[in-house]
Amino acid sequence: MTTNTARTVFLLAHTGRPAAIRSAELVVQGLLRSGLGVRVLAHEAADLPLPPAVEIVSETGPAAVDGCELLVVLGGDGTLLRGAEISRASGVPMLGVNLGRVGFLAEAERDDLDQVVERVVTRAYQVEERMTLDVVVHSNGDIVHTDWALNEAAVQKVSADRMLEVVLEIDGRPVTGFGCDGIVCATPTGSTAYAFSAGGPVVWPEVEALLMVPISAHALFAKPLVTSPTSVLAVEVQPHTPHGVLWCDGRRTVELPAGARVEVRRGAVPVRLARLHQASFTDRLVAKFALPVSGWRGAPH
């Protein structure tokens, strides 16, 4: 076997799961057998049964995937979002294999590993771009934090016994204010994540839009809002309320002092996802949520 160093695949796995370790072993063996190079992070390599041909790197940022044609991620939603951070920063497409529960970001399941390897080897996949969010936090007129999200940027309360008082703004105009547990600003990709749990609509990925979904709002008008992708959403934390917290994709967080302002707009840099199937999002939705469709006969011919 000769390794094709001109083609290298980066492998990211949740090594805390036995299923991920076994899956990683199968993927590595399949890729090496086909002559492709495989690269993994040093702190994950210690937990994986890897042959000497695997390249091990100590970098954890986008430089780790320099020269790689694909990032294959094995794990649940948290691991996939970690992979999305590397994919966005590097531009390398991410192919997710779901080892968790729902896994809307994943393109394959654990039982599909042989097919995943075959598709990677033959380059039988398409790459699509998913909208992201750029997030800016202002306090006392200064920018104090910048961030991004693939799924959502969520402004949330910290104190369990006190609501967060906020005013919502779209395109520079106030919409409404109320006390709540928080506000989720999401992409269509994130509409099936936190925004979905908060009662927001499911938005097909090809729809370009931004979502604003209140969490447990104490108000008559507290409906989910869907805006233009060019809109700028803002959440102002009222000065008299307890401080809040900003979560981006549930992974990165920053404290929001009373009076802080969070602005959310379409991200300048998308996340590139590798797709193996041309199945519609409708079919994916039905499968992921195990929706009852028995009795469906389809349109008459």
Query: pLDDT tens digits for 119-157?
Result: 999 999 999 999 999 999 999 999 999 999 999 999 999
Model confidence at 174, in pLDDT bands (50, 70, 90)? Answer: very high
Lowest mean pLDDT among 58-62, 162-166, 242-246: 58-62
The identity of residue 150, as a single letter, is: L
| pLDDT of the residue at 12 | 94
Q: What are phi and psi of 166, to 5 degrees?
A: -135, 160
Does the pLDDT value for residue 89 go beyond 90? Answer: yes
| pLDDT of the residue at 226 | 98
Core vs surface per residue 227-246: b (16+ CB within 10 A) or e: eeeebbbbbbbbeebbebeb
| pLDDT of the residue at 241 | 84
Domain residue spans in the chain? Answer: 8-130+271-289, 133-266
Does the pLDDT value for residue 240 go beyond 70? Answer: yes
Could you say which DSSP state residue 29 is in? H
Q: What is the mean pLDDT of residues 249-262?
A: 96
Q: What is the mean pLDDT of residues 14-28?
A: 88
Active site residue 77: yes
| pLDDT of the residue at 208 | 96
Annotated binding site for NAD(+): 77-78, 82, 151-152, 162, 181, 192-197
| pLDDT of the residue at 5 | 57
Model confidence at 1, in pLDDT bands (50, 70, 90)? Answer: very low
Q: What is the mean pLDDT of residues 291-295?
A: 94
Does the pLDDT value for residue 4 go beyond 80? Answer: no
Does the pLDDT value for residue 11 go beyond 90? Answer: yes
Model confidence at 3, in pLDDT bands (50, 70, 90)? Answer: very low
CATH of span 133-266: 2.60.200.30
How far is Cα 106 from Cα 117, in angstroms, rounded to an integer?
Answer: 15
CATH of span 8-130+271-289: 3.40.50.10330
Q: What is the mean pLDDT of residues 41-69?
A: 91
**Residue 191 CB burial class (10 angstroms; 0-12, 13-18, ≥19):** buried
Catalytic: which of 77, 112, 134, 283?
A: 77
Give one DSSP letter per residue of 128-179, joined into a string.
Answer: EEE--EEEEEEETTEEEEEEEESSEEEEEES-TTSPEEEEEEETTEEEEEEE
- Quote the pTM value: 0.92
Model confidence at 206, in pLDDT bands (50, 70, 90)? Answer: very high
Average pLDDT, the chain: 93
Q: What is the mean pLDDT of residues 163-192?
A: 97
Does the pLDDT value for residue 2 go beyond 60? Answer: no
Annotated binding site: 77-78, 82, 151-152, 162, 181, 192-197
How far is Cα 266 from Cα 268, in angstroms, rounded to an integer?
Answer: 7
